[in-house]
Chain A
Amino acid sequence: MPQFDPSSFASQLFWLVVFFALLYQVVIKMVMPSLGGVMENRQRTIDEDLAKASDLKARTDAAIESYEAALAEARGKAQALLRETSDEIARETDARMREVSEGLSQRVDEAEARIAADCAQELERVRDVAADVTVALTAKLLGESVDASAARASVDAVMQEAR
Chain B
Amino acid sequence: MADPVKQFQIEPIVPLDLGIVDLSFTNSSLAMAFAVGLSAALFYAGTRRLSLVPGRMQSLAEMMYEFVANMIRDNVGKEGMRYFPFILTLFLFVFFGNLLGMVPGNFTFTSHIVVTGALALFIFVAVTIIGFIRHGIGYLRMFFPHGAPIATAPILIPIEIISYLSRPFSLSVRLFANMTVGHIMLKVLAGFVVSLGLLGGIVPLAAVVGITVLEFFIAALQAYVFVILTCIYLNDAIHMH
Interface residues of A (CB under 8 A from B): 1-5, 7-16, 18-20, 22-24, 26-28, 30-32, 34-39, 41-42, 45
Contacts and interface: CB of A to CB of B under 8 A. Distances in A.
Nearest to A34: B47
B86 A11 contact: no
A30 B114 CA distance: 29
Nearest to B24: A11
Given A9-B114, A35-B47, A15 B26 contact: yes
**Closest 3 A-B residue pairs measured CB to CB?**
A15-B29, A8-B10, A19-B32
12 contacts: A2-B8, A3-B112, A15-B26, A23-B39, A26-B39, A27-B88, A31-B43, A31-B47, A35-B47, A37-B50, A39-B65, A41-B52
A28 to B, nearest CB: 5
Contacts of A39: 62, 65-66
Given A3-B112, A24-B86, A35-B61, A19 B46 contact: no
B66 to A, nearest CB: 8
B55 to A, nearest CB: 12
Interface string B1-42: 000010011101000100001111110110011011001100
A28 B92 CA distance: 13
Interface in B166-183: 176, 180
Contacts of B93: 19-20, 23
A3 B180 CA distance: 9
Contact of A11 (B23, B50, B51): B23
B114 A35 contact: no
Contacts of A32: 84-85
Contacts of B32: 15-16, 19
A128 to B, nearest CB: 127
B118 interface: yes
B52 A42 contact: yes
A11 to B, nearest CB: 5
B135 to A, nearest CB: 26
Contact of B43 (A3, A22, A35): A35
Q: What is the interface of chain A mostly: helix, strand, loop, or mixed?
A: helix
For A1, A9, A11, A24, the residue with the greatest tally of chain B CB atoms inside 10 Å of its CB is A11
A23 B89 contact: yes
B52 A38 contact: yes
Contact of A31 (B65, B112, B114): B65
Nearest to B48: A34
Interface string B85-123: 110110011000000000000000101111100110000
Contacts of A12: 10, 26, 28-29, 109, 112, 114-115
A7 to B, nearest CB: 7
A19 B23 CA distance: 14
A122 to B, nearest CB: 117
A119 to B, nearest CB: 112
B22 A7 contact: yes
A24 B36 CA distance: 9
A134 B16 CA distance: 178
A55 to B, nearest CB: 21
B23 A10 contact: yes
B67 interface: no
B22 A11 contact: yes
Contacts of A37: 50
